[in-house]
A and B are shown apart, each in its own frame.
Chain A
Amino acid sequence: MYGRHLRALSLATVALMTAALALVFFYAPLEAEEGFLQKIFYVHVPLAIVSLCGFVAGGVMAIAYLRTRDARWDMRSYVAIHMSLIFALGALICGSIWARGSWGHWWVWSEPTLVSFLIIFLLYATYQPLRFAIEDPERQARYASVFAITAGAFVPLNFLAVRMSTAYLHPRVLGSASNLPAPMALTFLVSLLAIALLWTTLCSYELTAKRARAQLRALRRELAGEDGARVARRPRSAAPAIVATGQRGA
Chain B
Amino acid sequence: MSQAAPSIQPAAERPLAPGAAAPATGDAGPPPGGATRPHGPGLATTIAAVLRKELLVELRTLESLPGMSLFAVTTFVVFHFALNRGSVDGDLAAGILWVTLLFAAMLGVNRLFVADADQGGLDAFLLAPVDRSALLVAKALALLAYLAVLELVAVPAFALLLLGPSLWHAMPALLAVLALADLGVAAIGTLVAALAVRTRARDLLGPLLALPLLIPVVIGAARASAPLLSFGHGGGPGARWLALLALYDLVFGLIAYAVFDFLLED
A contact set with B: CB distance below 8 Å: 66, 69, 119-120, 122-123, 126, 129-130, 133-135, 138-139, 142-143, 145-147, 149-151, 153-154, 157-158, 160-162, 164-165
Which of A66, A139, A146, A162 is most buried by chain B, counting CB atoms within 10 A of its CB? A146
B212 and A164 within 8 A (CB): no
Number of residues from B at the complex interface, CB < 8 A: 34
Distance (Å) between the CB of A161 and the closest chain B CB?
4
A147 and B262 within 8 A (CB): no
A-B contact pairs, 8 of them (CB 8 A): A66-B259, A126-B212, A130-B205, A133-B205, A146-B262, A146-B263, A150-B259, A157-B216
Contacts of A161 in B (CB 8 A): 215-216, 219-220, 244, 248
B258 — nearest CB in chain A belongs to which residue? A149
Distance (Å) between the CB of A225 and the closest chain B CB?
26
Contacts of B209 in A (CB 8 A): 123, 126, 130, 147
Complex Cα spacing A123 to B256, Å = 17
Complex Cα spacing A139 to B26, Å = 10
Of the stretches B48-56, B173-181, B196-204, the one at the interface is B196-204
A157 and B262 within 8 A (CB): no
Q: How many A-B residue pairs have CB under 8 A?
A: 84
A122 — nearest CB in chain B belongs to which residue? B212
Complex Cα spacing A165 to B263, Å = 35
A142 and B263 within 8 A (CB): yes
B208 and A126 within 8 A (CB): yes
Contacts of A129 in B (CB 8 A): 201, 205, 208
Contacts of B208 in A (CB 8 A): 126, 129
- Please provide the 5 A-B residue pairs with the shortest distance between their CB atoms, ordered closest to farther: A161-B216, A133-B199, A123-B212, A133-B200, A146-B259
Distance (Å) between the CB of B133 and the closest chain A CB?
14
Distance (Å) between the CB of A115 and the closest chain B CB?
9
